[in-house]
Amino acid sequence: MSRRLGALIAIMALTSTLLLVSAILLFPIGPELAIPGLPSGLLLGMVFWIALSASGSSLAVRMPGGNVVDVAFAPVVATMSLGGPLAAGLVALVGSTQARELRRDVPWYGIVANRATITGPAIFSGWLLSLVPGRANLLVDFVATIGAAAVLFSLNTLLTAAFVSVRGGESMWKLIRADAGAYSNMLALAPVAWLMAKMYLSAGWWAVLLFALPLYTTRLAYQRFVEVREMFTETVRSLAEAVDKRDTFTSGHSQRVQKIAVDIGKVMKVSDSELEALEWGGLLHDIGKIGVPDSVLLKQERLTRDERTKMNLHPVLGAEIIAPVKRLAPELPIIRHHHEWFNGSGYPDRLVADEIPRLARILHVADAFEAMTAARPYRMTPLTSQQALGELRKFGGIQFDPDVVDAFVRTRWVRDVPDPGRPEIRNVPMIGQAAGNMAMTMAVGNAQTDDGIGSATTGGVAPASPATA
Ligand SMILES: [Fe+2]
Ligand SMILES: [Fe+2]
């Protein structure tokens, strides 16, 4: 456990404990929570709600962002409405025990964090609810309960995301956004919770059990949501790997490009949604190679002009393949433009500098570094990281965006590798149609690089270019 994580858990645990002690001193459990007509009715009422909450917790589902959600939230809100802050805090504290915790699958600090992220918010929102006047009016009570549930759930979400973020190093907002759909569904449980409380009062404890069925179906809906998303992720990953595996030399290429591109994106502080686009774009950037015949893709000799043209179509083909998938719309520019050159000599659209989408410029650097540092049939001994970085620097402003190369230098991929820095004297970059024509000419003369543009043997205005795949 890191120091930061330890400090966060300590603060959350201390705050929750202080809130619990304050609630014990200030807020006796409301009599409405008691099961009427029974000795120790209040105690039995607490046991009933804790049991209901615990059975909801045992049906927990892990969300894509890493958070675990369950339907125990509804009994906590109902208890808050019936018995006040202390009752809500106790039900949250004991009733949020999850089966995986009992199986000891969760480390002790995880259990402490789980308790703290629900108990503190339950007491705090219960206290807010207790401040609302006029709750004898059903409408007022309903609105106040929904409001308190929203506070409870928002605080729980924030604290849980903070914990997962500090533990795993991921962005907190990204985690929250990843699970947003499920959170809104959870919030929709608040009216159910209010109804549970009213049924408990008017019909009795047994009537509350009728809500078990909708709660269970809600849980099933979460599970389906998670399963479908995971299936999508795995399918995309398999698809990318299937393309890479057609050529034994490029197996795993897309996954490595994805990781490098995401690291560059983090250094450049791109937004969370752009980081996600880099993740998917990294995996899928060469998906268009599906449409390149084996005779071209796997050819180890020099490609003819025709073959090179077919090979260079893969960014366009990739974009066409992905276009019908609406969810992948942000990745389209990355896929289409990952072979554009900064000076306009790339393909397919010969865009120049800032005309090239920023994420495509990032991916281009990641793609080149991965290709240079991996074995290829035309170069069985890969370049060292130092040599590859030297190439990226040499071609900064020509093939690569120099700002992206600057960012790449600060990633873990070239940590401790000497950086030659930006070259001081730079040939005037070629721009526009002439450059494109030159590039195509060079491409035909070179079958040694994966993207076929430039080589040590072609000469010309631009120096030899590093390979990209
Ligand atoms: Fe590639
Ligand atoms: Fe490519």
Beta-strand ranges (E) seen in 33-95 are 61-62, 68-69
Task: Please name the CATH architecture into which domain 3-229 falls.
Answer: Orthogonal Bundle (1.10)
Cα of 240 from ligand 1 centre, angstroms: 11
Mean pLDDT by 10 residues, the chain (469 residues): 84 91 89 82 91 79 62 87 92 84 80 89 94 92 94 88 82 76 74 91 87 75 80 85 81 91 93 89 92 86 89 94 90 96 94 95 96 82 91 93 95 89 60 39 34 34 49
Two tokens, residue 343? 């000076």
Cα of 157 from ligand 2 centre, angstroms: 40
Cα of 269 from ligand 2 centre, angstroms: 24
Quickly name the fold that domain 246-339+354-427 has: Hypothetical protein af1432 (1.10.3210)
CB neighbour list of residue 10: distance below 8 Å, 6 or more residues apart: none
- Write out the residues surrounding ion ligand 1, Cβ under 5 A: 286, 367, 469
- At 61 the three-state DSSP class reads strand
CB neighbour list of residue 63: distance below 8 Å, 6 or more residues apart: 69, 178, 179, 182, 222, 226
* Count of helix runs (H) and strand runs (E) in the chain: 21, 2
Cα of 201 from ligand 2 centre, angstroms: 65
Q: Which ligand is nearest to the CA of 250?
A: 1
Cα distance between residue 81 and residue 416, in whole Å: 59
DSSP H or E run through 459: none
Cα of 469 from ligand 2 centre, angstroms: 5
Per-residue pLDDT at 445: 30
Per-residue pLDDT at 36: 79
Q: Which ligand is nearest to the CA of 288?
A: 2
Cα–Cα distances in angstroms (integers) from residue 193 to residues 52, 348, 395, in the given order:
12, 57, 62
Cα distance between residue 360 and residue 319, in whole Å: 13
Give the side-chain half-sphere CA count within 13 A for 158.
Answer: 9
Cα of 459 from ligand 1 centre, angstroms: 24
Classify residue 331 by its DSSP letter: G
Q: Which ligand is nearest to the CA of 346?
A: 2
Q: Which ligand is nearest to the CA of 366?
A: 1
Cα of 297 from ligand 2 centre, angstroms: 11
What residue segments make up the domains of the chain, in order of their start?
A: 3-229, 246-339+354-427
Cα of 339 from ligand 2 centre, angstroms: 6
- As beta bridge partners, residue 384 has none
Cα of 261 from ligand 1 centre, angstroms: 11
Cα–Cα distances in angstroms (integers) from residue 130 to residues 73, 84, 91, in the given order:
18, 7, 17
Cα distance between residue 271 and residue 177, in whole Å: 12
Cα of 303 from ligand 2 centre, angstroms: 16
pTM of the full predicted structure?
0.62
Cα–Cα distances in angstroms (integers) from residue 116 to residues 9, 13, 51, 272, 441, in the given order:
8, 5, 19, 27, 65
